Structure 1
Amino acid sequence: MGWISPFKLNRLGMLNMNRRNVDYISRYNNRASYPLVDNKLRTKLVVEEYDVPTPKLLQVVRQQHEISRFKTRADGLNCFAVKPAKGSGGKGITVITGREGDHFLKASGAAVPLSYLERHLSNILAGLYSLGGSPDVAIVEDLVESIPGLARYSFQGVPDIRIVVFQGYPVMAMLRLATKASDGKANLHQGAIGVGLNIANGHGLNAVQFNRPVTHHPDMGLALENIVIEDWDKMLAMAARCYEATGLGYMGVDLVVDAKHGPLLLELNARPGLAIQMANGCGLLPRLQSIEALRRPHFTPDERVKFVKDAFGA
């Protein structure tokens, strides 16, 4: 993409990290609410009260001595995900897609014994993947199966949708697609593709990988221009309701579209990154400032969704 002058970045309304931290995260996010989003288990419990569905919780492992019970509880499970409650950036997540005798099949196709999962659970509890290395809790969830229309655009990993929500208004969104470079994870810093989404209808706008424009998925060979997200209005409303659930004024809401259960919340992020602007080809700042300038805020999630669709639809 090359170097862009500060003047041009300002003209595009690009929000930089310093301004995000000072003017939005520090100003609008009460630190008392951070534990709600930094802990996936607490997130699941709190958003459930606000009609925001998440993947089904199968079991929770809180203490080392409970690991011995995992074998019995896992006997009836074929497809599931093991996650650290306080993990970030996808670290420590192990996805099991099936069984082969006494072994569990990972997403890569590798077969691992029960001892592998028990060791992984022990590492999670010890805080190997948690923020700051603090002791953690392991959660076992039902495996998300993406709808085929989206899954075909992603290499191994489940595609997800990041929506930035400000004061309860979903202001910008992108689809994240895993690649070989990102090792099957929807992480833009590792090489996943970000597809900007029209906030009005969930249609793809343009796409970037490593902050450079792309038109096709490098591994799947599919054109990215015709992507449309199903149940878009429902996803916007879910994202908007997370404001009431957490009280956080500025956050990232990560959603998936499950083949059986429809839109589900994966996690919340109190410090969402800024690459979403590159994927959309426009800056966050004008949208954030227009929300700040509202004389009368919209009090219900549905009202806020209608406002952003009218105001920011590309």
Structure 2
Amino acid sequence: MGWISPFKLNQLGMLNMNRRNVDYIARYNSRASYPLVDNKLKTKLVVAEYDVRTPRLLQVVRQQHEIPHFRQIADDLTGFAIKPAKGSGGKGITVITGRDGDEYIKASGARVPSAYLERHLSNILAGLYSLAGTPDVAVVENLVESIPGLARYSYQGVPDIRIVVFQGYPVMAMLRLATKASDGKANLHQGAVGVGLNIANGHGLNAVQFNRPILLHPDTGLALENIVIDDWQEMLVMASRCYEATGLGYMGVDLVVDVNEGPLLLELNARPGLAIQMANGRGLLPRLRQIEAIRKPHFTPEERAAFAMETFASSI
């Protein structure tokens, strides 16, 4: 794995926040599409129409009086995830990985009673985690179990893959690995590891933590240079389909690879961050401009994914 300094990245076309906001988000993202991607339940329902799979929906809790029904469903489950539909940045997500008698085991290993989960549902409905503090609904999903080949690189949390999609073309991707510092969450700002991925084949290129280069995962001690993502072309096609599903011209598509279900969409982001450039060791601007220069756009997600794999092959 090589490393390119931030100064060199500027020369390579680093996209900054102001340019992202003005030239790409404001220009290519219709405000009418925001409620769709800012609500996980709405996202889940619309992408299903475009053959994009998501974790299986177990229950939707919309009203406080529905919370007691949750316990009846939870009694039959060993693992599940509770998410606020309008939450952001992973806030308010509680992952249950098992049961021990009357207690539920969180991803961190902590044991909690059902009353804890019911209070959490109540807080979600009250809007504690929603983007604008407005009332929300709780989404209960099947537990995602990462494939062992990726799970071994991550500390507790499920690794996910962020793909930036522009005008329906996948332009840049990275794998996010949870760490002890990030509290088991795949959040780069909290200390997760970002591994840049070659669009051509899903192979690891470069890895960073806190925007600094690393070669080994800080907790698992595993070398990050040999990472390869299976089902890569399928994941690029899934990401590309989200363009038709939402109409968003510039977005982040977050995917996971489940051991039973294969690639699944976790969520969409209409304002994806820029750390993906550091993970890849190159800027987004040249790729975005290349897409803008296309005179005859490709109509199908499969064609756009194939174009991206051929055009944006990386070597560092």
Structure 1 length normalisation: TM-score?
A: 0.98
The letter of the residue matching 2:132 is G
Q: Distance in 2 between matches of 1:213 and 1:29?
A: 32
Q: Distance in 2 between matches of 1:39 and 1:140?
A: 14
Structure 2, unmatched stretches of 5+, are none
The letter of the residue matching 1:110 is A
Q: Distance in 1 between matches of 2:4 and 2:12?
A: 16
Question: Identity, % of aligned pairs?
Answer: 81
1:298 corresponds in structure 2 to 298
Q: Distance in 2 between matches of 1:304 and 1:227?
A: 24
> Matches of residues 104-119 of structure 1 in structure 2 within 5 Å?
104-119=104-119
Q: What do the CA deviations read for 1:97-138 (whole angstroms, capped 9, x no partner)?
A: 111111111111111101000000000000000001010000
Specify the SS of the correspondent of 2:255.
strand
1:258 corresponds in structure 2 to 258
The letter of the residue matching 1:17 is M
1:216 corresponds in structure 2 to 216
The letter of the residue matching 1:205 is L
1:205: Cα distance to partner? Answer: 0.2
1:10: Cα distance to partner? Answer: 3.6
> Matches of residues 267-282 of structure 1 in structure 2 within 5 Å?
267-282=267-282
Specify the SS of the correspondent of 2:145.
coil
Q: Distance in 1 between matches of 2:72 and 2:208?
A: 45
Q: Confirm or deny: 8 A CA contact 2:50 2:245 kept in the other structure.
A: yes
2:57 corresponds in structure 1 to 57
Structure 2 length normalisation: TM-score?
A: 0.97
RMSD over aligned Cα, in angstroms? Answer: 1.2
Q: Distance in 2 between matches of 1:263 and 1:194?
A: 19
Q: Confirm or deny: 8 A CA contact 2:9 2:281 kept in the other structure.
A: no
Q: 1:231 to 1:2 in 2, by over 3 A?
A: closer
The letter of the residue matching 1:106 is K
Q: Distance in 1 between matches of 2:125 and 2:200?
A: 42
The letter of the residue matching 2:139 is I
Specify the SS of the correspondent of 2:132.
helix
Q: Distance in 2 between matches of 1:218 and 1:4?
A: 22
1:307 corresponds in structure 2 to 307
1:9: Cα distance to partner? Answer: 4.4
The letter of the residue matching 1:290 is Q
The letter of the residue matching 1:63 is Q
Q: Distance in 1 between matches of 2:233 and 2:88?
A: 27
Q: What do the CA deviations read for 1:28-53 (whole angstroms, capped 9, x no partner)?
A: 00000001100000000000000000
2:287 corresponds in structure 1 to 287
Q: What do the CA deviations read for 1:232-288 (whole angstroms, capped 9, x no partner)?
A: 000000000000000000000000000000000000000000000000000000000
2:147 corresponds in structure 1 to 147
Structure 1, unmatched stretches of 5+, are none
2:125 corresponds in structure 1 to 125
Specify the SS of the correspondent of 1:26.
helix
Q: Would you identify which runs of 4 or more consecutive aligned residues in structure 1 move more than 3 Å?
A: 1-5
State the number of aligned residues: 312
The letter of the residue matching 1:28 is Y
Specify the SS of the correspondent of 1:82.
strand
Q: What do the CA deviations read for 1:11-39 (whole angstroms, capped 9, x no partner)?
A: 11000000000000000000000011000
